Amino acid sequence: MAGTRINEDYPDEAEPLAEGLEVPNYHYRCKACGYDFTKHQDFNDEPIHVCPVCGKEEVRKVYSAVPISFKGSGFYRTDSGK
């Protein structure tokens, strides 16, 4: 199943990825101006440090919680731990 990526020239428009080319999108935020953006990057690409809006080297990756679901026994303190 193909995903989508952000078109760097038009960041509000997502374009489909070709099958087998699914690499991560990284979310960045500039600490200087507050600009939020997503960048389609390969695992080996260097992180972005310069803001595309204000030009300052204040860009940091934004990490968010991963949606996971624990099912079955053994995940809760109240489980018997068999």
pTM (two decimals): 0.56
Per-residue pLDDT at 19:
59
Q: What is the largest CA-CA distance in the chain?
A: 57
- Asked whether residue 56 carries a pLDDT value surpassing 80, the answer given is yes
Average pLDDT of span 49-59: 97
Per-residue pLDDT at 6:
53
Tokens describing residue 60 = 């940091």
Q: Which residue has the higher pLDDT, 38 or 75?
A: 38
Cβ-defined contacts of 13-18 (< 8 Å, 24+): none
Average pLDDT of span 48-60: 96
Domains detected in the chain? 22-64 (2.20.28.10)
> 9-13, 43-47, 64-68 — which is least confidently predicted?
9-13
Going from the C-alpha of 14 to that of each of 6, 17, 25, 60, 64, the distances in angstroms are 5, 9, 11, 22, 20
Q: Which residues, at least 6 apart from 42, have a Cβ–Cβ distance to it below 8 Å?
A: 23
